[in-house]
Amino acid sequence: MHHKTKFTPLATRTLRCTIAPLLFACAAAGLHAADSWARITSEDGKVSALVPGEVEESTQVTRTLAGKITTRVLAYETGDVLFDLAGTGLPAVALKFAGEKGVIDSAKGKVLSQAMGKEKSFEDMTVSGVGCKLLRYDMVHHSDPAHRGFHGLALFFVHNGRLYVANGIVMKDAGMADIEKFADSIQIKP
């Protein structure tokens, strides 16, 4: 069941509006029993991850100079957490022009910009033999200085001509255990 909360406007602005990058997926911060998590799978069946509850699906189509770009997003959210799994089909010309690094750097910039986030680290890693980039970032609640703010973690990779971004955001005092569980659960098929 999808709940509208005070976090929804930030989540919508931050993640669902990103035009070409997202395979966000996710978990809920320390509030869910291990047995309540279920595996969700990307539209093409190539990427999956565990999430702690029911997800909402959306699709965004964007026209660019490189052609039409379609992003499918699976999102889980509560008042304290947002986790998304999204995949974007990339036109071959876009991938050839920008290269994987350029596509990932652009997606990273969009996530940070739209989240008003500050990068903590951006590291190489491998998941199921696929090279990925792991971004850790913090977000400050600018309209309320007393607000705790948020931690964010996003995993970016290009696989079989698609850009995937798995992203999780939790309140700072909620800890990172569920984001880490989500990230560790990601599986990529050849």
CATH of the domain at 37: 3.40.1000
The pTM of the full predicted model, rounded to 2 decimals, is 0.77
Mean pLDDT calculated for residue range 22-47:
63
The pLDDT mean for the chain works out to 80
Whether 2 maps to a domain, the answer reads: no
Whether 95 maps to a domain, the answer reads: yes
* Distance of alpha carbon 157 from alpha carbon 167, whole angstroms: 12
Whether 174 maps to a domain, the answer reads: yes
- DSSP for residue 6: T
Segments in 47-141 forming alpha helices (H):
92-115
Whether 76 maps to a domain, the answer reads: yes
Whether 3 maps to a domain, the answer reads: no
Spatial CA neighbour of 165 closest among 2, 18, 7: 18
Whether 52 maps to a domain, the answer reads: yes
User: Where is average pLDDT lowest: 7-21, 29-43, 99-113?
Assistant: 7-21
Three-class DSSP category at 190: coil
The rounded Cα 14 to chain-centroid distance in angstroms is: 10
| Boundaries of domain holding 96 | 8-188
Tally of structural domains, the chain: 1
Whether 1 maps to a domain, the answer reads: no
Concatenate the DSSP letters of all residues of 113-157 into one string: HHHTEEEEEEEEEEETTEEEEEEEEEE--TT-TTS--EEEEEEEE
* Distance of alpha carbon 100 from alpha carbon 27, whole angstroms: 27
pLDDT at 3 over 70: no
* Distance of alpha carbon 148 from alpha carbon 169, whole angstroms: 13
51-90 confidence digits (pLDDT tens): 898 999 999 998 988 888 999 999 998 878 888 999 999 9
